[in-house]
């Protein structure tokens, strides 16, 4: 029986996840930027990687009504400074088609920005996670990117694979290099943009994969580690919080407000 | 003003059709001789003498000595109809590319600038045939005044329609008719089923006999009846048979007859290599012309209704529902027929006229539906033009009439269009502009003409976004939903209230004379004062509420001039079951409402005001699960949206088209008064001096039928439940500079004032109303009417 990603994480208990990337200098005055990690938005599933459309919409409304700005990774420097500006980064992994129905309209409504980390091979197709779930197409990515509200990140071209619990760690250096290059080439051809963002499949990485990613030119590397993006954070190990139906509006706010 | 007084005012204004509803409403409340007299006069003025006589006699029963009634009865008895002149001729024919008119013995091209006319005025479903002769005459004048030269009905109307048309055309003005012939679908989709065919032939014969003023149709539920003695054959352009045939019905029929391709040659029409359905269409049309010729020795031009769903073109962007899901890794039910928009064709280009008035093609074509009307032509300058040209090219020299097109002036968008010619979301001015641009496009594409949909707003109609939410559905004609695209196509508004809009959003206090004062405060006390010089702009004085068949109106009066930089206001609505809903108000107000709220209006200025819904009660976000409020104290508010176009995949699976989602939550500032510099027919709120006025559509706050106080409540037990009325609270707060959140007060909550003053369950007022059956309305010509006139004047009638 194929394992779901949730099952996989439960089984692995994060054994492959590297130690948390702790902030080097923590200044209370400096803004801590929460980085939200969403996956699918759906009423049909209720798992670790799904949030219901009404809860997601309520979270976005809360961000808006509380004056949050949502930013791209390359704007981080402008925002991490003393002051009471509120900023958050919204990311979506895998690139589910539900983004078009439930997220993009809210981005336009609120003037929010979001980053989608797509799995190259499955763009315009679907993946099985409990059941088949449709994924965004290049046409849609072009449409979103054109709005200036969406940027594309890499979730590997075709290494988002269980691989006996190893994930990307189970591939050779060449396989990983080729994969990153393929993603970057295809994304450049399809969108005209270079890809500077990488999100590790299953949040798994090590020194070897990190070196490959850096050499491939990724400037912002997203993990699943707990924490916030803040002054002197390592942009190659950006922490994120996975948001799903377990985050009711109160726990969502707690994370946003820094009370992890 | 009571209903009787209002009715006599309507008679005085010559608004006789409106007066009928008003007097009926008065009589529902209390039977009186005056009510019946009023009803009688309204019918008399509209030349429905039979009903007038009945009403006067009802009045006489109540007041036998009333001499005025006897005079009315004597006037009715004196009426003698003039004998109409027989005409029995056809002055039109379908020729090369266009329809032609015979004038002084010479045929010339006639470009149709038409208008569709339905049957559903407020309070009635079409099968009740409520429209009177006087009303038709009024409408004919209004149509002719803007350059309409033809009108199209969908079925046989009552005799009063033909009498009015005869009279109108005798007066020297001209309005030509496309007589529609409506048919239902056969059982089992077998179009050759004998009973069905007899029924179709009967409808055809009736329609033909009716335009020659030679029919006497017996009373039958759902059908017009009476004696038809006015021959309007010379004012009839032709017949349009059928409807927007459902693709599943056509597919099933073609398959039932194994898709056998055949030829058919009738006396008047023939077809080469037709599908079973096309053959059936030709046979039926041939029957019509044969019957007409046999009986009246002439024949009119003829067409069969069609639409893009069944057009003969190939649409690469429009994959089938089942295929599209498969491409996305999903499965669809395959044991039912899904109404796909490009799986069947009805190709009338194959039809040839052997003799007689000829045959022309007819399409109902809107620029936003089906999706391929955009998606096939995204690289073209004008998507609609590109489609029509392709269509015309297919039909060669056959005239092609666009017998329906247009955009509605509703609040909600039901389909997207690339250039903003959406299915709704237009104010009345923009509606006229887009209609004009569409008509120009039709002309440019070489069509035989266009028939705009439609003359007036029809309350009984239901758009796909609302069809599941009218509960009970058989009361839909009793109320108006400005959210619904389908009921807002008219150039002539059918709008609640008489003699004008109850609230015009102009800050006129006299419009609130009959409202209910829900809250009032005289002592100037508040919850919290910042002592910043602006406390009075956060201080409530009064909150008034009223309603009509389309909206609930709220007025809040503040103690000083409105200043949104210093004060924001929240109005919470609880439409049903106060123990359930969202209790926490947002924006850092930290206020727990004593009742569960379903909707929340945030008044924060011209640009930022919105109406939010508690997150479990939003139709779009919760579909297909339960849609009903749940208890929450977390402040889970969301914006209301709908997905007008779902994500699409092209037939070859290579091209994806993003979904299109539209917001309903933004509140538009403006006034409904045309003379106001802020005029906008879709305005939701207005403020001036120290008052704010709001117009909230019933359809926006999940009422499924305000006339019986039903609200949406979708779970395993219910679809809708009865409301006792609307409980309302209001609070004010001081916003942090350039933000939406409340400034801290140092108290438990950050509000500065509230209605009720002490926020407890017992203090909260409920606005309720009596159920109604007969709606009150008035008509007015929308701005689109005048705008469309400008466009029509630029298009020559002689093509």
Cβ atoms B113, B792 nearer than 8 A:
yes
Exposure of B370 in the CB half-sphere (CA atoms within 13 A): 22
pLDDT tens, residue by residue, B211-264: 999 999 999 999 999 999 999 999 999 999 999 999 999 999 999 999 999 999
Confidence of residue B515 (pLDDT cuts 50, 70, 90): very high
Q: How many CB atoms lie within 10 A of CB B105?
A: 5
pLDDT value of position A84: 61
Q: Which residue has the tokens 């959140």?
A: B741
Among B55, B78, B101, the domain boundary falls at B78
Give, for B211, the enclosing helix (H) or strand (E). helix B194-211
- By mean pLDDT, which of A2-6, A221-225, A226-230, B66-70 is the weakest? A2-6
Question: With contact defined as beta carbons under 8 Å apart, do B487 and B423 qualify?
Answer: no
| Domain count of the fold of chain B | 3
Closest Cα of chain A to B618: distance in Å? 8
Does residue B799 lie within any of the structural domains? no
Looking at chain A, how many residues does it have?
A: 260
Residue A209 φ/ψ, nearest 5 degrees: -65, -35
| Residue range of the domain that includes A44 | 29-256
In angstroms, the separation between the Cα of residue A160 and the nearest Cα of chain B is 18
Distances (CA, A) of B149 to A148, B142, B235: 49, 11, 11
Q: Is the pLDDT of residue A4 over 50?
A: no
Best of B323, B331, B615 to mutate (most A CBs within 10 Å, chain A): B615
Contact with chain B for residue A84, Cβ under 8 A: no
Q: What pLDDT does A231 receive?
A: 84
B429, B551: one domain: no
Which residues of chain B lie closer than 8 angstroms to A57, CB-CB? 615, 618, 621, 638-639
Instruction: Say whether A106 and B637 touch across the interface (CB within 8 A).
Output: no
Question: Which pLDDT value is given to residue B403?
Answer: 98
Q: Per-residue pLDDT tens for B728-743?
A: 999 999 999 999 999 9
Number of Cβ atoms within 10 Å of the Cβ of B675: 7
Residue A126 at interface with chain B, using a CB cutoff of 8 Å: yes
How would DSSP label each residue in B59-118?
HHHH-TT-HHHHHHHHHHHH--PPPPPP-----EEE-SSSEEEEETTEEEEE-EEEEE--
Average pLDDT over residues B531-543: 97
CB atoms under 10 Å from CB of A182, counted, come to 16
Degrees to nearest 5, angle at CA B776 with B772 and B779: 150
Pairs of CB atoms within 8 A across A/B: 101
CATH of the domain at B36: 1.25.40.10
Give the end of a domain, one of B54, B78, B102: B78
Minimum mean pLDDT among A101-105, B188-192, B320-324: which range? Answer: B320-324
Rounded distance between C-alpha atoms, residue B600 and residue B15, angstroms: 38
* CATH code (residue A176): 3.20.20.370
Q: Specify if A146 maps to a domain.
A: yes
Read off the pLDDT band of A232 (50, 70, 90).
Answer: confident
Q: What is the DSSP letter of A101?
A: I
Cis peptide before B731 (omega within 30 of 0): no
B636 with A101: Cβ contact below 8 A: no
Q: Is the peptide bond before B756 cis (omega within 30 degrees of 0)?
A: yes
A53 touches chain B (CB under 8 A): yes
Asked if residue B86 is part of any domain, the answer here is no
Question: What counts of helices (H) and strands (E) characterise chain B?
Answer: 16, 39
User: Looking at the domain assignment, is residue A24 inside a domain?
Assistant: no
Flag whether residue A197 sits within 8 Å of chain B, measured between CB atoms: no
The phi-psi region of residue B765 (left if phi > 0; otherwise alpha if psi is between -120 and 50; otherwise beta) is: beta
- CA gap B713, A26 in Å, rounded: 50
pLDDT of residue A67: 92
Reported as a pLDDT band with limits 50, 70 and 90, residue B209 is: very high
What integer is the mean pLDDT of B524-538? 95
Q: Could you tell me if B115 and B69 lie in one domain?
A: no
Helix locations, chain A, DSSP H: 5-12, 53-65, 76-79, 98, 104-110, 138-146, 173-191, 207-215, 249-256
As a whole number of angstroms, the distance between CA A89 and CA A80 comes to: 12
Selected for mutation to probe chain A from B616, B637, B659, B666 (highest A CB count within 10 Å) is B659
Which among A61, A126, A249 has the least Cβ separation from residue B329? A126
Percent of chain A with pLDDT over 70: 87
Cis upstream peptide for B295 (omega within 30°): no
Are B143 and B175 a contacting pair, CB within 8 Å? yes
The reply to whether B474 and B547 lie within a common domain is no
Shared-domain flag, residues B203 and B330 = yes
Which is nearest to A199 in space by CA: A184, A217, A218, A177?
A218
Q: What is the pLDDT of residues A201-217, one digit of tens each?
A: 999 999 999 999 999 99
- CATH code of residue B712: 2.60.40
Are the C-beta atoms of B630 and B597 separated by less than 8 Å?
Answer: no
Cβ contacts of B612 on chain A, cutoff 8 Å: 61
* pLDDT at residue A26, as a whole number: 40
Percent of chain B with pLDDT over 70: 100
pLDDT surpassing 90 at residue A23: no
Which residues pair with residue A116 across a beta bridge? A92, A152
| Distance separating alpha carbons of residues A21 and A74, to the nearest angstrom | 20
- Which one, of B96, B149, B78, B68, lies nearest residue B795 by Cα? B149
Q: Does B650 lie in the same domain as B683? A: yes
The pLDDT assigned to B552 comes to 98
B463 and B546 in a single domain? The answer is no
Nearest CA in chain A to B742: A66
Chain mean pLDDT for chain B: 96
Which residue in B618, B624, B643 is closest to A54 by CB distance?
A: B618
Domain hosting residue B354, numbered range: 92-495+777-793
B587–A124 C-beta distance less than 8 A = no
Indicate whether B236 belongs to any domain: yes
- The CATH number given to whatever domain includes residue B784 is 3.20.20.80
Return the percentage of chain B with pLDDT > 90, whole number: 96
Kindly determine whether residue A62 and residue B586, on different chains, have CB atoms separated by under 8 Å: yes
pLDDT digits (tens, 9 = 90+) for B87-137: 788 999 999 999 999 999 999 999 999 999 999 999 999 989 999 999 999
Residue B544 confidence (pLDDT) above 70: yes
- Identify which of A83, A90, A161, A84 has the alpha carbon closest to the alpha carbon of residue A122: A161
DSSP assignment of B477-496: GGS--TT-GGG---SEEEEE
The H or E element that residue B556 is part of is strand B551-558
> What pLDDT, on a 0 to 100 scale, did the predictor assign at position A30?
67
Q: Which residues contact B794 (CB under 8 A, 6 or more apart)?
A: B440
The span from the CA of B353 to the CA of A74, in Å, is 69
CB contact under 8 A, B661 and A104: yes
Partner residue opposite A124 with nearest CB, options B656, B663, B740: B656
- CA dist list (Å): B372 to B233, B308, B655: 39, 9, 12
The answer to whether residue A20 sits within a structural domain is no
Q: Band the pLDDT of B333: cuts 50, 70, 90.
A: confident
Q: Which residue of B has its CA nearest to A57?
A: B638
**CB pair distance less than 8 Å for A100 and B587:** no
Q: Judge whether A74 lies within some domain.
A: yes
Q: Is residue B426 part of a domain?
A: yes
Q: Are B647 and A140 an interchain contact pair (Cβ–Cβ within 8 Å)?
A: yes
Provide the 3-class DSSP secondary structure of residue B290.
Answer: helix
Going by C-alpha positions, the residue among B625, B712, B584, B697 that lies closest to residue A58 is B584
Assign B54 a pLDDT band (cuts: 50, 70, 90): very high
In a domain, A183, yes or no: yes
Report chain B residues whose CB lies below 8 A from the CB of A58: 615, 634-638
- The answer to whether position B772 is within a domain reads no
Q: What residues have CB less than 8 Å from B489, skipping those under 6 apart? A: B406, B407, B408, B409, B453, B454, B457, B458
Number of domains in chain A: 1
Average pLDDT over residues A79-108: 91
pLDDT of residue A5 exceeding 80: no
Q: Residue B435: is it exposed, middle or buried by C-beta count within 10 angstroms (0-12/13-18/19+)?
A: buried
Claim to verify: residue B697 and residue B782 sit in the same structural domain: no
Res. A2: pLDDT tops 90:
no
pLDDT category, A259, cuts 50, 70, 90? low
CB contact under 8 A, A53 and B621: yes
CA distance A165 to B676: 69
Q: How far apart are the first and last CA of chain B?
A: 52
What is the distance between the alpha carbons of residues B39 and B4, in angstroms, rounded to a whole number?
A: 10
What are residue A21's phi and psi, to 5 degrees?
Answer: -85, 100
| Most distant pair of Cα atoms in chain A: their distance | 52
Specify the pLDDT at position B664. 97
Q: Calculate ∠ Cα B624-B625-B631, nearest 5°.
A: 145
Domain identity same for B572 and B718: yes
Q: Are residues B677 and B747 in the same domain?
A: yes
CA distances from B406 to B25, B116, B118, B430, B686 (A): 33, 11, 15, 11, 29
Residue that the structure tokens 């039928």 belong to: B705
State the average pLDDT over residues A161-177.
Answer: 91
**According to the model, what pLDDT value does residue B522 have?**
86
Query: Is A111 part of any domain?
Result: yes
B82: pLDDT confidence band, cut at 50, 70 and 90? confident
Q: Are residues B58 and B100 in the same domain?
A: no
- ipTM of the complex, rounded to two decimals: 0.95
Which class for B486: exposed (0-12), middle (13-18), buried (19 or more C-beta within 10 A)? buried
The minimum CA-CA distance between A26 and chain B, rounded to whole Å, is 27
| B332 and B240 together in one domain | yes
Quick one: chain B helix, strand, coil %, rounded to 5? Answer: 30, 25, 45
Listed residue (B38, B50, B37, B45) closest to B8, CA to CA: B38
B359-380 pLDDT per residue, tens: 999 999 999 999 999 999 999 9
B456 and B597 both lie in a single domain: no
Q: Do B612 and A61 touch (CB under 8 A)?
A: yes
Domain assignment of residue A5, yes or no = no
């Amino acid at each position: 029986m194929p394992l779901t990603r949730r099952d996989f994480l439960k089984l692995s208990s994060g054994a492959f996840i590297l130690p948390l990337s702790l902030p080097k200098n923590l200044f209370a005055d400096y803004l801590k930027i929460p980085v939200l990690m969403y996956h699918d938005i759906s009423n049909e599933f209720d798992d670790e990687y799904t949030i219901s459309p009404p809860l997601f919409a309520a979270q976005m409304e809360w961000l808006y009504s509380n004056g949050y700005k949502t930013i791209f990774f390359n704007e981080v420097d402008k925002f991490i400074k003393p002051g009471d500006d509120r900023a958050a980064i919204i990311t979506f992994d895998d690139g589910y088609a539900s983004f078009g129905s439930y997220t993009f309209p809210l981005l336009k409504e609120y003037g929010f920005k979001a980053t989608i980390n797509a799995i190259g091979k499955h763009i315009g197709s679907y993946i099985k996670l409990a059941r088949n779930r449709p994924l965004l197409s290049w046409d849609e990515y072009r449409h979103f990117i054109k709005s200036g509200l969406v940027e594309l990140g890499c979730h590997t071209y075709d290494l988002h694979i269980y691989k006996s619990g190893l994930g990307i760690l189970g591939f050779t250096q060449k396989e990983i290099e080729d994969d990153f290059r393929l993603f970057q080439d295809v994304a450049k051809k399809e969108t005209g943009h270079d890809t500077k963002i990488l999100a590790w499949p299953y949040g798994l990485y090590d020194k070897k994969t990190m070196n490959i990613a850096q050499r491939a030119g990724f400037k912002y590397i997203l993990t699943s580690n707990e924490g916030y993006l803040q002054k002197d954070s390592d942009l190659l190990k950006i922490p994120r919080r996975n948001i799903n139906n377990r985050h009711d509006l109160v726990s969502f706010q707690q994370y946003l407000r820094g009370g992890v | 003003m009571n209903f009787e007084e209002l009715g006599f005012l309507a008679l005085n204004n010559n608004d006789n059709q409106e007066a009928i509803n008003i007097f009926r409403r008065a009589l529902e409340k209390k039977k009186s001789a005056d009510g019946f007299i009023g009803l009688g006069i309204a019918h008399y003025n509209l030349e429905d003498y039979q009903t007038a006589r009945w009403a006067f006699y009802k009045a006489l029963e109540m007041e036998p000595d009333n001499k005025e009634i006897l005079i009315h009865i004597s006037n009715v008895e004196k009426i003698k109809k003039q004998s109409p002149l027989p005409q029995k001729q056809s002055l039109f024919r379908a020729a090369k590319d266009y329809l032609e008119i015979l004038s002084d013995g010479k045929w010339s091209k006639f470009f149709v600038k038409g208008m569709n006319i339905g049957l559903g005025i407020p309070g009635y479903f079409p099968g009740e045939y409520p429209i009177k002769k006087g009303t038709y005459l009024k409408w004919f004048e209004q149509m002719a005044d803007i350059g309409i030269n033809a009108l199209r009905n969908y079925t046989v109307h009552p005799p009063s329609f033909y009498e009015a048309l005869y009279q109108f055309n005798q007066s020297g003005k001209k309005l030509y008719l496309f007589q529609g012939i409506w048919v239902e679908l056969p059982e089992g989709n077998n179009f050759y089923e004998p009973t069905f065919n007899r029924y179709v032939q009967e409808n055809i014969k009736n329609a033909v006999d009716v335009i020659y003023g030679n029919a006497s149709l017996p009373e039958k539920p759902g059908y017009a009846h009476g004696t038809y003695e006015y021959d309007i054959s010379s004012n009839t352009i032709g017949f349009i048979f059928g409807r927007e045939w459902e693709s599943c019905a056509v597919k099933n029929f073609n398959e039932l007859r194994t898709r056998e391709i055949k030829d058919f040659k009738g006396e008047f029409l023939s077809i080469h290599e037709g599908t079973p359905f096309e053959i059936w269409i030709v046979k039926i049309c041939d029957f019509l012309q044969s019957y007409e010729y046999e009986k009246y020795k002439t024949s009119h031009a003829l067409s069969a209704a069609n639409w893009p769903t069944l057009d003969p073109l190939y649409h690469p962007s429009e994959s089938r529902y089942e295929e599209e899901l498969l491409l996305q890794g999903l499965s669809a039910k395959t044991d039912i027929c899904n109404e796909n928009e490009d799986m069947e064709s009805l190709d009338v280009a194959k039809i040839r006229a052997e003799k007689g008035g000829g045959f022309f093609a007819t399409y109902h074509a809107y620029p936003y539906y089906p999706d391929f009307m955009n998606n096939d032509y995204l690289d073209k300058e004008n998507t609609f033009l590109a489609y029509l040209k392709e269509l015309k090219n297919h039909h060669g020299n056959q005239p092609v009439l666009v017998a329906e097109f247009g955009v509605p002036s509703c609040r909600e968008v039901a389909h997207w269009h690339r250039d903003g010619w959406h299915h709704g979301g237009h104010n009345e001015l923009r509606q006229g502009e887009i209609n004009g641009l569409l008509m120009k496009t039709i002309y440019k594409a070489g069509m035989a003409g266009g028939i705009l949909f439609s003359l007036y707003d029809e309350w009984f109609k239901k758009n796909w976004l609302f069809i599941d939410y009218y509960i009970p559905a058989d009361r839909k004609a009793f109320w108006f939903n400005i959210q619904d695209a389908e009921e807002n196509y008219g150039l002539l508004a059918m709008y609640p209230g008489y003699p004008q809009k109850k609230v015009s959003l102009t800050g006129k206090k006299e419009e609130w004379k009959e409202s209910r004062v829900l809250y009032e405060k005289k002592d100037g006390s508040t919850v919290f004062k910042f002592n910043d010089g602006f406390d009075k702009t956060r201080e409530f004085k009064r909150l008034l509420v009223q309603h009509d068949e389309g909206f609930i109106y709220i007025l809040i009066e503040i103690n000083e001039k409105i200043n949104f930089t210093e004060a924001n206001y929240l109005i919470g609505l609880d439409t049903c079951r106060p123990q359930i809903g969202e209790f926490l108000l947002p924006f850092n107000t930290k206020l727990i409402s004593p009742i569960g709220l379903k909707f929340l209006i945030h008044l924060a200025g011209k640009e930022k005001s919105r109406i939010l819904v508690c997150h479990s009660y939003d139709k779009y976000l919760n579909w297909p699960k339960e849609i009903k409020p749940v208890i929450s104290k977390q402040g889970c508010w969301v914006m209301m949206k709908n997905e007008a176009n779902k994500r699409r995949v092209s037939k070859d699976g290579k091209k994806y088209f993003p979904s299109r989602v539209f917001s309903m939550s933004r509140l538009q500032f403006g006034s409904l008064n045309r003379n106001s510099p802020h005029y906008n027919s879709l305005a939701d709120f207005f403020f001036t001096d120290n008052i704010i006025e709001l117009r909230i559509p019933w359809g926006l706050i999940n009422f499924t039928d305000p006339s019986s106080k039903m609200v949406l409540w979708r779970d395993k037990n219910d679809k809708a439940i009865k409301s006792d009325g609307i409980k309302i609270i209001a609070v004010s707060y001081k916003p942090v500079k350039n933000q939406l959140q409340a400034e801290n007060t140092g108290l438990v909550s950050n509000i500065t004032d509230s209605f009720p003053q002490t926020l407890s369950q017992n203090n909260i007022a409920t606005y309720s109303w009596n159920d109604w059956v007969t709606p009150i309305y008035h008509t007015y010509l929308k701005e689109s009417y005048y705008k469309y006139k400008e466009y029509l004047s630029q298009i020559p009638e002689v093509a």
